[in-house]
């Protein structure tokens, strides 16, 4: 039972471009939507998060767009850099965190 669906599975973006990762959820009880970044050999670390009462949150080059009626949210990375190459997970929370399947992002020069 996949409660949070994430796409694409992998993504290659040129340096300076915009990386976009999408997620959709089913459970309307979710009330917190974080994005985690994971580098090889490390545990996931919180990147940015949003609550469903706002439609957008921006922190530096990272933006979450949230569409409550469509039950979708997305991560946008502006001016993508090689250091952004990592696996990104969306998640949704209503006491326990449920993760998407992850997106392996590669930024090429």
Partner 1 sequence: NAGVTQTPKFRILKIGQSMTLQCTQDMNHNYMYWYRQDPGMGLKLIYYSVGAGITDKGEVPNGYNVSRSTTEDFPLRLELAAPSQTSVYFCASSSSDRAVNTEAFFGQGTRLTVV
Binding residues for partner 1, rule: CB under 8 A, are 1, 6, 31-32, 34, 41-46, 49, 89, 93, 95-102, 104
Give min distance, CB of 101 to partner 1, in A: 4
Give min distance, CB of 41 to partner 1, in A: 8
Give min distance, CB of 21 to partner 1, in A: 13
Q: How many residues does the chain have?
A: 109
> DSSP states of 55-108 as a string?
SEEEETTEEEEEETTTTEEEEEESS--GGG-EEEEEEEESSSEEE---EEEEEE
Give min distance, CB of 102 to partner 1, in A: 5
Residue 40 or 83: which CB sits closer to partner 1?
Answer: 40
Residue 28 or 81: which CB sits closer to partner 1?
Answer: 28
Residue 44 or 80: which CB sits closer to partner 1?
Answer: 44
Tokens of 41: 């050999």
* Phi, psi for 25 (deg, rounded to 5): -130, 165
Residue 40 or 109: which CB sits closer to partner 1?
Answer: 40
Side-chain-side CA neighbours of residue 79 (13 Å)? 2
Which residue in this structure is represented by tokens 């040129």?
A: 14
């Amino acid at each position: 039972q996949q409660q949070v669906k994430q796409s694409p599975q992998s993504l290659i973006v040129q340096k300076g471009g915009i990386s976009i990762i999408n997620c959709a959820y089913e459970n309307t009880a979710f009330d917190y939507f974080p994005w985690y970044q994971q580098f090889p050999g490390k545990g996931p670390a919180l990147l940015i998060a949003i609550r469903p009462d706002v439609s957008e949150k921006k922190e530096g080059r990272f933006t979450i767009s949230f569409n409550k009626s469509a039950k979708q949210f997305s991560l946008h990375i502006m001016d993508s850099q090689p250091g952004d190459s990592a696996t990104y997970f969306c998640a949704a929370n209503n006491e326990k965190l449920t993760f998407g399947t992850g997106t392996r992002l590669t930024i090429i020069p």
